[in-house]
Structure 1
Amino acid sequence: MKAIVCHKYGSPDVLELKEIEKPLPLENEVLVKVHAASLNFGNLVLLKGKPFLARFAFGLLRPKYAIPGGDIAGVVEAVGKNLKQFQPGDEVFGDLSSSGWGGFAEYVSVQEFAIALKPTNISFEQAAASPMASVTALQGLRDKGMIKTGQKVLIYGASGGVGTFAVQIAKSFGAEVTGVCSTRNVEIMRSIGADLIIDYTKEDFTQTKERYDLILGVNGSNSISAYKHVLKPNGNFVHVGGAESQMFRSLVFGPFISMTGSKKISNLLQRANQNDLMYVKELLETGKVKPIIDKRYKLSEVSEAFRYFLEGHAQGKVILPI
């Protein structure tokens, strides 16, 4: 089979398309013929080996997982003899980040807890766009942010993969959602139902009179004090992604701020979860959430896909049809 292989940390140029042996499922694994995969921030960590602390999970000197790729959608080809949840022919999607990665390939053998039945009303590409980004948004809003109906929620970095899901999932909880994005992404915000839109090239969200119950920081390099300033008393700021300096400040100062005042500052470390994936599946099937796809690249163009992704301006998800 064809697969993208990475044997050292570095730029997208270290990624190689190679012919390797097709995997066989172990007794507790499912063999999936991959129809589509997508790029995520976790793929960048696996590629670059940064931040350095991540290497303790991904490999200190070189990548522990030779084939990158977390999000996939495809068709079950075979199942281990001990498994009952899936059958050959089932259409599935999932997040492989907690079960060995390996999604940038024509086939992958994966533990069944990493996948779920694909929503029947969306394509393989749309399904591959969904798992990691949607579950990240869900866990940030529901588990860390403790979102409630009627709250005012701000999504900073609302036009990317996690951000577009976060806007829609927050709406599904009955929140009033403000999306922060650039001018080129305003129409995307309207199309996914944002109640209010702040164009950060024209307006500073910290200078408005509005205050929020929950802020999800998906991208950007704003200071923690800036987010704290626009939180209501008892409000929550959840750091999901953005500049490394911002992550460091939220990790170091967040607990102190949370202990000494009513406003809470926390970080999300997303974890693949089949129950959460099935929750998102229902949102997709009922039309409450729709994946936004920016660009598609062939498997042989994966280096180009990563270079585009690294620019940080993707409108939704970057997809690899396989």
Structure 2
Amino acid sequence: MQAITSRSYGTPEVVHVEEIDTPVPRKGEVLIRNYATVVSQAESTARNGKDPLARLYFGLARPRFPVLGTGFAGEIQSIGSAVTKFRVGDQVTGSAGPTFGAHAEYVTVPENGIIALKPAGLVPTDAVAVLDGALTALPFLRDAASLKSGQSILINGASGAVGTAAVQLAKHFGAVVTGVCSTANLDLVKSLGADTVIDYTAQDFTELGQVYDVVFDAVGKSSYIRSRKLLKPGGIYLTTVPSLPILMWMLVTRIFGKTRAKIAFTGLRRAKAMALDVKFISHLAASGHYVPVIDRTYNLKEAASAHARVQSGRKKGSVVLTLHDPGE
């Protein structure tokens, strides 16, 4: 099979397409013919190797996971022994999890892993796009923030994959949403349901005098120090980007002060919980209550260009890779 690999750290030019062995499903696993996947910010970070904290996981000297990719949408081609939940021919979607491997034409996943039947009304490219940001945004809003109807939330980076998901999920939960993005993306964020949109190129959202129950920094470009004046008493600042300062403030605010700082390592949750989230998000999209936001779609041979697009920081929503045509 063909797979997208990065066997050294560096620019998008280290990304190549290679012929590698097709995996064989072991006991309790299914083999999926993968129709679509995404290149996320996490995979861009893993590939460039510049983040020292990330290198602790992805490999100090060289990449531990030469085939990246988590999201998949495809058809089960074969099953290992003892598989009872799925059958050959099932259309499925989900995540390969923290060991990656979905940037390939075929991927194996445990039947008890992060996998669910794909709703019939959801095409593969949309299926991977909705999971791209929502599998991160959902546990941040629902679990870390316990976001409730009527509460207010500011989302920084509201036009990216996690941000567009957060806007839609926050509205689904009944929150009053303020989105922060660039001029070019104001209409997009408004169309997703944001009640107020702030253009960060024209205004500093930390200096507008508004306060919120939750500040969700979906791109990790702000900080608790800058954002804490935006929080109501009991309010929570959330960030998706791990750093020593946020880990310190998590500990400090747990004991002192009237506001909290938190980070959630959403990709390390239990597979059963994530599989339930895959099902919830997919059905929300299939029913028309969640809109997939796709910046651009690339084919397998254009993988380096897809990485370059993500690295540019200008994408809206998700960058999708197509690996097989479902009609083939």
Asked whether 1:320 is paired with 2:316, we answer: no
Bigger mean CA deviation after superposition, 159-168 or 259-268: 259-268
Q: In 1, distance between residues paired with 2:56 and 2:116? A: 29
Q: Which runs of 5+ in 2 are unaligned?
A: 324-328
Asked whether 1:234 is paired with 2:240, we answer: no
Asked whether 1:55 is paired with 2:51, we answer: no
Contact 1:71 1:130 in 2 (8 A): no
Asked whether 1:269 is paired with 2:268, we answer: no
Q: Write out per-residue CA displacement over residues 182-230 of structure 1, whole angstroms, 9 at most, x where no aligned residue.
A: 1100111122111111111112212223210011101253232221011
- 1:149 is matched by which residue type in structure 2? S
Q: In 2, distance between residues paired with 1:276 and 1:211? A: 30
Indicate the residue corresponding to 1:294 in structure 2: 295
Q: Which runs of 5+ in 1 are unaligned?
A: none
- 1:190 is matched by which residue type in structure 2? K
Contact 1:96 1:110 in 2 (8 A): yes
Q: Write out per-residue CA displacement over residues 36-82 of structure 1, whole angstroms, 9 at most, x where no aligned residue.
A: 11011221232123422333332232222221111111111111121
Indicate the residue corresponding to 1:105 in structure 2: 104
Q: In 2, distance between residues paired with 1:132 and 1:311? A: 18
Contact 1:119 1:284 in 2 (8 A): no
SS for the counterpart of 1:297 is strand
Indicate the residue corresponding to 1:68 in structure 2: 68
Contact 1:213 1:234 in 2 (8 A): yes
- 1:57 is matched by which residue type in structure 2? Y
Contact 1:32 1:75 in 2 (8 A): yes
Bigger mean CA deviation after superposition, 193-202 or 1-10: 1-10
Following TM superposition, by how much is the alpha carbon of 1:292 offset from its aligned partner in structure 2, in angstroms? Answer: 0.2
SS for the counterpart of 2:153 is strand
Contact 1:95 1:132 in 2 (8 A): no
Bigger mean CA deviation after superposition, 253-262 or 306-315: 253-262
SS for the counterpart of 1:305 is helix
Q: In 1, distance between residues paired with 2:110 and 2:83? A: 10
Contact 1:255 1:266 in 2 (8 A): no
Quick one: percent identity of the two aligned structures? 37
Contact 2:132 2:161 in 1 (8 A): no
Q: Write out per-residue CA displacement over residues 249-291 of structure 1, whole angstroms, 9 at most, x where no aligned residue.
A: 2222332134211101011211252122222123223322111
Matching of residues 1-322 of structure 1 within 5 Å? 1-98=1-98, 100-112=99-111, 113-241=113-241, 247-271=243-267, 273-322=274-323
Following TM superposition, by how much is the alpha carbon of 1:158 offset from its aligned partner in structure 2, in angstroms? Answer: 0.4
Following TM superposition, by how much is the alpha carbon of 1:137 offset from its aligned partner in structure 2, in angstroms? Answer: 0.2
Q: How many residues align?
A: 317
- 2:279 is matched by which residue type in structure 1? M
Following TM superposition, by how much is the alpha carbon of 1:30 offset from its aligned partner in structure 2, in angstroms? Answer: 0.8
Q: Give the root-mean-square deviation of aligned CA atoms.
A: 1.6
SS for the counterpart of 1:128 is helix
Bigger mean CA deviation after superposition, 153-162 or 56-65: 56-65
- 1:101 is matched by which residue type in structure 2? F
Bigger mean CA deviation after superposition, 150-159 or 101-110: 101-110
Contact 2:132 2:318 in 1 (8 A): no
Tell me the TM-score normalized by structure 1: 0.94
SS for the counterpart of 1:291 is coil
- 1:22 is matched by which residue type in structure 2? T
- 2:103 is matched by which residue type in structure 1? F
Contact 2:74 2:124 in 1 (8 A): yes
